[in-house]
Amino acid sequence: MKNILITLLLSASIFAETPREPNKTPSLMECEMIIEMYHFSIEQGNPVTKVQVIGVIEACTAHVKHQKTVNRMKELLETI
């Protein structure tokens, strides 16, 4: 339980709304961190939310490495 609390506290800044430069794309590390948080949430039995799916899409669209994930999230977004 303590590990979950620490993880949530550390991840709070990831999901916080922060002003971003218009042309700045999220880093690969940020993309992978958001994907991990998405998977963690699913493993904990939480329902998939539109906000999570959009977060993954926005963070990972510019990264070819995660293009399959982005495509799956776009398909999932249509069903939510």
Domain spans of the chain?
A: 26-80
Measured between alpha carbons, how far is 8 from 5 in angstroms, rounded to an integer?
5
pLDDT tens sequence across 62-79 = 999 999 999 999 999 898
Residue 59 has pLDDT above 90, yes or no: yes
Q: Which two tokens stand for residue 57?
A: 């899409």
- What length is written for the chain? 80
Position 47 scores a pLDDT of 92
C-alpha dist (Å) from residue 61 to 6, 25, 30, 52, 69: 28, 9, 12, 14, 9
CB 23 within 8 Å of CB 7: no
